[in-house]
């Protein structure tokens, strides 16, 4: 597997993706409360979406809590609120399946 920021590789004319793409948004979805990023401590990126599409979403951990990070080109990064793993992972799956954004 790749690292964050290396979700896609161009192989000749073919773009090969190794990280998931968020599914199209469903008519009813949970709006994530995106906030200004905190500047605290070490951040561990656990999962991420393919960087051939923007924004890129990452599931991050810091200080025992987890959150989602959204990074779009020419835009400040934004973070969801911090929560325990189970809650953040549920939000991550919802994002990937078009049920949260």
Interacting residue ranges for Zn ion, rule: CB under 5 A: 8, 17, 50, 52
Beta carbon of residue 52, minimum distance to Zn ion (angstroms, whole number)? 3
Distance CA 22, CA 72 (A): 14
Beta carbon of residue 36, minimum distance to Zn ion (angstroms, whole number)? 27
Distance CA 15, CA 66 (A): 31
Nearer to Zn ion, 24 or 27 (CB): 24
Contact 93, 46 (CB under 8 A): no
Beta carbon of residue 53, minimum distance to Zn ion (angstroms, whole number)? 6
């Amino acid at each position: 597997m790749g690292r964050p920021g290396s979700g896609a590789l161009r192989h000749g004319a073919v773009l090969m993706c190794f990280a998931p793409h968020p599914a199209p948004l469903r008519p009813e979805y949970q709006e994530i409360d995106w906030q200004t990023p905190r500047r605290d401590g070490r951040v561990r990126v656990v999962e991420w979406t393919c960087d051939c599409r923007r924004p890129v979403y990452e599931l991050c951990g810091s200080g025992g809590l987890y959150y989602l990070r959204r990074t779009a080109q020419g835009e400040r990064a934004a973070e969801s609120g911090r929560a325990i793993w189970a809650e953040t992972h549920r939000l991550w799956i919802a994002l990937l399946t078009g049920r949260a954004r």
